[in-house]
Amino acid sequence: MTRLTIRHETLYEYESPVAFGTHRLLLRPRDSHAVRLVDATLTVSPPGEMRWSYDALGNCVCWFTPQGLASRLSILSELTIEAYPAPLAPLPINDPKSTLPVDYDLADRAALAPFLEPAEEDVEGLMPWLRGQMGSPGEAALDFLMRLAWVIRTDFAYEARESEGAQSPAETLRRRAGTCRDFAWLMVEALRRLGLAARFVTGYLHSHGMAPARGAGATHAWCEVFLPDLGWMGFDPTNGLAESPDLIPVAICRTPVEAAPVAGTVIGDPGAANLIVSVDVRLAGDLPRAA
């Protein structure tokens, strides 16, 4: 078991005071057998009304409506979690349906339907690129998925980008570059075209050691794939990781549009606006990293 603390601050600064509409916050990690939420504190300024709910996919959502006029909006989430990593290998695979092409049974297929259907229109260049990554017929799906995540890690350049949203898979293929969101979305849409159920995941990345992981210091995104006999499994194409204990899921979504950690509106003319986001994930008891 590993105990981690997570500090995630979002600060909006406006040239002129504004009123605020309701904001949707996706900041609370998903409790599971692998991640246990020990403590959670949400501090907001200006204060306002909060309501918690679960969305259709089981994500924990805070609906926050700031009160009054203000030229700053601060949202600070402070978490303590315990992670219980499960080793990926040796991992017995007893279901022959977990070889390519994957064959889901009818009950699973009904539940997985939203994650089997591609969300993008035909993506130029995707299928030729994807066929180039395929192995021999009957290859274990897990082997293919681990290889695909590593191919994206090694063949595509990582570029941090402050603007929200993900670029299209076609653009990521064309540029051979992008952010963690872009790589995750490329993998999700590629796998759906192979008949694999895949979903977009957003959360946090614990980076340790001398070489920081790509995407550390911000919210992170990766891909989850459902395999018979194995269930949902996480693959991080930004870092070439599979089922890593360093990935802390907050929300699962069908598309990146639904995955913003903070989304809302302002009422009035804010003038010039500035957004500052900081994320710090570390072992409990460690001192904050130097700026």
DSSP strand pairing (70-83 vs 177-178): unpaired
> How many angstroms separate the CA atoms of 70 and 11, rounded?
12
Alpha-carbon separation of residue 59 from 158, 202, 203 (angstroms): 28, 11, 12
- Whole-number Å distance between alpha carbons of 199 and 256: 9
pLDDT at 219: 92
Q: What pLDDT band is residue 88 in, cutting at 50, 70 and 90?
A: low
Q: What integer pLDDT is reported at residue 138 of this predicted model? A: 80
Q: What is the pLDDT of residues 194-243, one digit of tens each?
A: 999 999 999 999 987 656 688 787 899 999 999 988 899 999 999 999 98
Which pTM value belongs to this model?
Answer: 0.91
For 50-59, what is the mean pLDDT? 96
Average pLDDT over every residue of 241-259: 93
Q: What is the pLDDT of residues 145-166, one digit of tens each?
A: 999 999 999 999 999 877 778 9
Residue 290 is predicted with a pLDDT of 47
**Edge-to-edge strand ranges of the sheet holding 198-205:** 241-242, 231-236, 220-227, 198-205, 247-253
Question: Domain coordinates of the chain in residue numbers?
Answer: 2-83+260-283, 96-258
Amino acid 31: pLDDT: 85
Q: Which overall architecture, per CATH, does domain 96-258 show?
A: Roll (3.10)
For 2-83+260-283, CATH number out of 1.10.10.410, 2.60.40.2250, 2.40.30.10, 3.30.420.40 equals 2.60.40.2250
Q: Which of 197, 200, 213 is nearest to 245 (CA)?
A: 213
Give percent of the chain with pLDDT exceeding 90.
Answer: 71
Mean pLDDT of 254-275: 95
